[in-house]
Amino acid sequence: MKRICLLGAPGSIGRSTLDLIARHPERYVLHSVAAHSDDIGLAQICAQFKPARAVLADPAAAARLRARLAADAIATIVESGAAAIEELCADSEVDIVVAAIVGAAGLGPSLSAARAGKRILLANKEALVCAGALFMQAVAAGGAQLLPIDSEHNAIFQSLDSHERPPRGVRRLWLTASGGPFRGWTQDQLAEVTIAMACAHPNWDMGPKISVDSATLMNKGLEVIEAHFLFGVPTADIGVLLHPQSAVHSLVEYVDGSFLAQLGCADMRIPIAHALAWPDRITSGAPALDLAALGRLDFSEPDVSAFPCLALAYQAIERGGNAPAVLNAANEVAVAAFLNGTIGFLDIAYTVNDALNSIPLSSADSLAAVLAVDAEARAFASARIDALRRS
């Protein structure tokens, strides 16, 4: 019986993980849960799964959760604060940490799980995008087992012959992208994009922030950075292909000319089930991919002139140091501004580009350094957005 600590429990990754735990009660038990401030969501989870511990980063939300659970006579221990979430990840009773907290808030917990030698199911992009070298050092030093649950990186993991870093015999990794709702659009067309249009992903059910990142192709750029650190492959050997059917989740090209790919329906339970059970397999509840009904698989190259965020991500990882953290932080601020109607769709890339070109390059060799440049980039992006709004 494996005991699971689920970070970001009320989110889409969390819900998929909970579905799998419920399907396999003989294999998994929910030991602990964490979230930022969703006390209602955590209360529902605690009522169903009865975890031993629950942590909310927001103390006021934790107080509300404590009252809710007490009223229902649920014995889950409730704690609050970022430090409590990090301690949760290092709990000796936890076997598996599902790291699905969105944003820089997930950095500390992911590092804590790595140092404690846990099996980490990684969905938090920031652990690798902002602190890739630092995080991978912690994984190696702690003897942790790192399994990606982003569909693309999990597909690469499944398609590799070896899990050495770098993997043997690989010529190139290919990340696939649906292209989002605006595949084939020009810059003039993209200037008219609304919030609702950007959030209407054609294939995946995702939150607004990730949906916008998919629409700008920043999500794929962040995944290139992740793949570089996860698999130890130079970014020059990591390519992106638009694949509107979202059936091939990524491919590995080998030096002998072979391509290995992982296919499946657009259902996050598939990569999570793989990582939970690896090297075994368990049922996921996802529908089978109907290849005959699918009929065709299309691939094309992305247009980085219309979608410059992808090129900005490549630039950031080539610069190294703190540049990926700057990219990520500025993008988060810009996407939030777009989602609240402050800036236009194209302003997201402009804001990120300005931050990359304005904030000095430095090392990112400690969590303190990463968090400092994260704060600096957020402040810069916010100031630029304020200037845009006034102009």
DSSP, residue by residue, 139-197: HHHHT-EEEE-SHHHHHHHHH-S--SSSPTTEEEEEEEE--GGGTT--HHHHTT--HHH
Set out the domains of the chain in order of their start, with CATH numbers: 2-148 (3.40.50.720), 150-307 (no CATH), 320-391 (1.10.1740.10)
Report pLDDT for 209: 85
Sheet holding 259-263, edge to edge: 238-242, 170-177, 248-254, 259-263
First-to-last alpha carbon distance for the chain, in angstroms, is 59
Contact 243/176 with Cβ under 8 angstroms?
yes
283 contact partners, CB below 8 Å, separation of at least 6: 23, 24, 273
Report pLDDT for 15: 96
Using the 8-state DSSP alphabet, how is residue 30 labeled?
Answer: E
Report pLDDT for 100: 93
Determine what percent of the chain falls in helix, strand and coil, rounding each to the nearest 5.
Answer: 50, 15, 35
Report pLDDT for 206: 66
CA distance 268 to 204: 9
120 contact partners, CB below 8 Å, separation of at least 6: 96, 97, 99, 110, 113, 114, 139, 144, 145, 146, 147
CA–CA distances in Å: residue 176 to residues 45, 156, 201, 291 = 33, 10, 15, 18
Report pLDDT for 205: 62
The pLDDT tens digits along the chain (391 residues) read: 999 999 999 998 999 999 999 999 999 999 999 999 999 999 999 999 999 999 999 999 999 999 999 999 999 999 999 999 999 999 999 999 999 988 778 899 999 999 999 999 999 888 899 999 999 999 999 999 999 999 999 999 999 998 888 999 999 999 999 888 888 899 899 999 999 998 886 666 667 888 899 899 999 999 999 999 999 999 999 999 999 999 999 999 999 999 999 999 989 999 999 999 999 999 999 999 999 999 999 999 999 999 999 999 999 999 999 999 999 999 999 999 999 999 999 999 999 999 999 999 999 889 899 999 999 999 999 999 998 877 6
Report pLDDT for 268: 94
Token pair listed for 104: 């820089």
